[in-house]
Structure 1
């Protein structure tokens, strides 16, 4: 399908227009480019009736796609069984892809030719079933859960247009928080020496217990609005409230073929329906192994097997994305099981996607990985397996649940050798055993010579890095005692993450962050002398909630303080007012690591640089000798002089790091 040139970013000349009503100039009178529309509707404006998500602060509009594809090798993980069949297995991989969208998204007809641009609902399809899953996870009767989620988030939609064309333009300076939505209709020049079209960085996001691929949509789409292609996985390891695994319909024998391919099993009912249903798995005889008060400790066998399954899902998603990046998107669309006729699918599926625009659109050799809670524990294990995940360049762990993390193996390679950023909630910071675990990860990273940062967002709770505090702010404020504004908590997490990635990565992602991020210098916050005790809860509430003494007065004072500090020149607080820093790599150490990393990544280029430096030094010395000789002997310089030969023999001008 061919889209308008303004949507694709291609020049109008490529459309081959040679005739028009005005003298054959090929121009349309008073033609205007389609302008991106904000992804809003009436339901987004009626916040008192229906929860809604915020718009995203970056310079790009955001698109999304739902993709579920069968894996090449269906298999099981561990010997754990329930109801006579294996509990942990991989048959398909499911994820939502958030990405920077082209100028014109939301205007005119959508890529599928429909008049109304579609947005996916926050509660994944089938919504009633997923609501029941949340109820089971929270211990709420199914009908109550359906009524509650139906009344609060049943109609909530993501602020991303489905199947929108991917962006092909560089953004201008600034972001939509400072410049308004109009910035999403503008483009900037490429960086010096850069390509005309950016190649975006890729980021994987792993959700925590009770999460889904859309439960962190604000975080993921914020990254996408700053130029990241974000793969938000839905893990089928029994860590989500409820998910559905489709069987491919291949002559009615999709599930039997999968069983023949690998060690997976299905009930007769699952084969008849054409899908498996996976609910949250509570460990046997120890259902609350996540609690700090749990005396039995974590269920090591289950959690280790879940992490191994999660790593396999990341590998499978990576294969799918490599296929899309290498021009195989049409085949992925053909194999996609989130389309009409499959549970959780829709009539739109991936209709209208111009897959040629995705060829070489994002990097697959420099990938960032991030996760929250149990997802963060997954990321730690991934980072410790650098040989297996050689394409990963950095990791971010949000409020990690440290209990499932095992000590590193004796093999020195089983250590974290890549840059690592940890961002805690204040609620988890008071959980001393968990704080010790995450601090040990920072030490492990520093011992391997890589940059490491650990900070806490003041007034935040464990859910502050997900959509839940935004969709249910009063519950999180009054019952869990969060004192930070939900949207501000997201802003702080995103700002710190982008500052980190700007400092430890190279390429288009770094260039976009440098020109678009409002730098709050969060990672330059001074280290704490001692752990604060401001909102430490009673022992029974550790990690679950905060304690707010004199609550009314405290909240009112904080509100006035925020208002006053917003009037400052930079429009944000000083970092220490909102973030505590526990561990960081100083600027000189960071600079040394960057230089060393460049030499290791491209020794040939560094060798050329050194050769050039030596030749320039030799040239300068020769010039000084010739000047002395000329002044004493008064001899004119000729083109046959050693100096001239040296300059003629110089290697060509080398590109800078930003140009390469």
Structure 2
């Protein structure tokens, strides 16, 4: 490990965590007609969907396969970040690759690769089809979309911690040109590289709003394909998914029949991914996007309009840096746009009841706090981002509130910070009286500001 770099910690929940990389072929189609100027090749062609699936496994399960590296191809990622900086050449690409190595080194994801899902015998014969054993739990699902300049491995601690608590998390790697670099791999052995895309690379050259709409459309298509693959696995076709998986993992997927709770599937995302998750909630739940909730982390400030036509509960979490920084978005302060979006969702009716929605700020955190980066380089990231919370505590607060939201979707019970009324209708303006402060959990007051929440009593919602 490089100097000052830290290993990713083991997960803390009651379940062992397994992970499987799945790259499943899709029906080949173009999301837009734009091509690259230099090659005339399609810029937004969907051929496969790639995601890492984190899941509860048997306690003590040990993989015979090596752990997944946090970065598997430093040359590819280095070139990708050089392209982001618009200084792409052999010299700068090597500098970026070397810089990544000095920061990350041989960091691996601590999840066990390709071990059986919880409750499956380690002696399970994947060549046979067997029914689900009676009494085995079905695990709720979070389909997660990463942010700009990120990938499916950028949030492994958050994903793995939730898996250790009894959830399946499918972390997608988007090929929409928002990440540094990715390899599209097909089962026939063919592959191609996808790097960062800017408007100037395309023909005809789109305006920025159109370009972002295309990227969000690509992300939604990948989200829908991930749902399709999850449903295929749950319906008992795991062996077929394994056979077509270009990443050659998942030889126990046949035992997953009936183990995914497709009635409790949530879409989540961070930054650009949060904007994409909001878009995926339009008209949900439906067959392609059967989402019963949205977990929205730092919705993007430069990723286009935020879709607000939402008929399911949502939890929006801002990092402190996201709430504190005054940013004009669509002609208004970004904080106010997000607050009004959440209040609009909450005003909708589910049957005769008010829809539930929350908007919170995680105190002491910065935009990268939910990612693995501060865990790997705690001193560097704290210094450069201004984050004041302990880096592991920052991730764990995001995990905890995510678990509380999933708990609410399961049985309607509000626990933890989600059980509280509004504390700060405006960022950093505390409306609590001394009595309420004294009775509130110290951890909630220490780590959270609550801007929008369903009233916990009959009194009128404040803020």
Q: How does 1:79-478 map to 2 (within 5 A)?
A: 79-82=33-36, 83=38, 84-106=40-62, 110=63, 114=64, 117-123=65-71, 125-138=72-85, 141-168=92-119, 196-249=135-188, 274-284=190-200, 299-339=208-248, 349-350=249-250, 353-386=251-284, 387=286, 389=288, 391-406=290-305, 415-429=309-323, 430-432=325-327, 433-449=333-349, 450-478=355-383
- The whole-number CA distance in structure 1 between the counterparts of 2:368 and 2:252 is 37
Cα gap change, 1:471/1:426 in structure 2, threshold over 3 Å: closer, same or farther? same
Q: CA deviation at 1:77?
A: 1.6
3-state SS of paired residue (1:332): helix
* C-alpha contact (below 8 Å) 1:527/1:582 kept by paired residues: yes
SS at match of 1:136: helix
| Structure 2 CA distance for partners of 1:496 and 1:316, relative to 1, 3 Å | same
The range that moved more, 203-212 or 490-499, is: 490-499
Match of 2:391 in 1: 486
Aligned to 1:181: none
State the 1:51 CA deviation: 2.9
Cα displacement (A) at 1:74: 0.8
Distance 1:589 1:420 in 2: 21
After superposition, the Cα gap between the structure-2 partners of 1:92 and 1:523, relative to the gap in structure 1 and judged at 3 Å, is same
Alpha-carbon separation, structure 2, partners of 1:530 and 1:577: 17
How far is the alpha carbon of 1:277 from its aligned partner? 1.1
Q: Distance in 1 between matches of 2:447 and 2:304?
A: 28
More strand by share: 2
Query: 1:575 aligned to 2:439?
Result: no
Distance (whole Å) between structure 2 residues aligned to residue 443 and residue 522 of structure 1: 15
Structure 2: 5+ residue stretches without partners: 121-133, 328-332, 350-354, 431-439
Q: Which moved more, 1:397-406 or 1:418-427?
A: 397-406
Alpha-carbon distance in 2 for matches of 1:443, 1:526 = 12
Structure 2: how far apart are the matches of 1:523 and 1:151?
A: 44
Q: Is 2:142–2:169's contact at 8 Å kept on the other side of the alignment?
A: yes
Q: How does 1:542-621 map to 2 (within 5 A)?
A: 573-588=442-457
3-state SS of paired residue (2:69): coil
| Residues 139 and 225 of structure 1, relative CA distance in 2, 3 Å threshold | farther
Determine the C-alpha separation between the residues in 1 that align with 2:22 and 2:306: 35
Instruction: Please tell me the root mean square deviation across aligned C-alpha atoms, in Å.
Output: 2.9
CA contact (8 A) 2:145 2:276 kept: yes
Residues 415, 448 of structure 1: 8 Å contact kept: no
Q: Distance in 1 between matches of 2:455 and 2:148?
A: 34
SS at the partner of 1:168? Answer: coil
Specify the alignment match of 2:129 in structure 1: none
Task: Give the Cα–Cα distance (whole angstroms) in 2 for the partners of residues 405 and 49 of structure 1.
Answer: 37
Aligned 8 A contact 1:525 1:575 in 2: no
Structure 1 portions without partners, runs of 5+: 1-42, 170-194, 251-273, 287-297, 340-348, 409-413, 535-569, 591-660
User: Could you state the TM-score of these two structures normalised by the residue count of structure 2?
Assistant: 0.83
Give the superposition deviation at 1:580: 1.0
Cα deviation, 1:191-246, whole Å, max 9, x if unaligned, reads xxxx6211111110000101111101111111101111111000000011101112
Please tell me whether Structure 1 or Structure 2 has the larger radius of gyration of its CA atoms. 1
Equivalent in the alignment of 2:29: 75
TM-score (norm 1): 0.59
Contact 2:163 2:169 in 1 (8 A): yes
Tell whether the 8 Å contact from 1:210 to 1:240 is kept in structure 2 after alignment. yes
Deviations 1:294-339 (A, max 9, x none): xxxx921111111111111111111111121122111111111114
2:118 alignment partner, SS class: coil
Please list every run of at least 4 consecutive aligned residues from structure 1 whose deviation after the TM superposition is greater than 6 angstroms.
none
| Structure 2 equivalent of residue 618 of structure 1 | none
**Aligned-pair CA distance for 1:85:** 2.3
**Bigger proportion of residues as helix:** 1
- The CA distance in 1 between the partners of 2:7 and 2:193, in whole Å, is 28
Distance in 2 between the 1:142 and 1:224 partners? Answer: 35
| 1:391-430 Cα shifts (integer Å, max 9, x gaps) | 211101001114444376xxxxx82110000000111112
| Structure 1 equivalent of residue 128 of structure 2 | none
Q: Report SS of the residue matched to 1:459.
A: coil
User: CA distance change for structure 1 residues 407 and 311 in 2, over 3 Å: closer, same or farther?
Assistant: closer
Q: CA deviation at 1:479?
A: 2.0
Q: Distance in 2 between matches of 1:436 and 1:530?
A: 9
- Secondary structure of 1:586 counterpart: coil
CA distance in 1, matches of 2:305, 2:103: 39
How many residue pairs get aligned? The number is 416
Give me the whole-angstrom Cα distance separating, in 2, the residues matched to 1:317 and 1:249: 21
Question: 1:532 Cα shift?
Answer: 2.3
Deviations 1:475-528 (A, max 9, x none): 222222111111111111111121122123249xx9xxx9xxxx7546526421
Aligned equivalent of 2:436: none
Distance 1:285 1:229, change over 3 A: closer
Q: 1:162 offset after TM fit, Å?
A: 0.2
Q: Give the distance between the partners of 1:470 and 1:159, measured in 2 at CA.
A: 13
In structure 2, the CA distance between the partners of 1:483 and 1:533, relative to structure 1 (3 Å rule), is farther
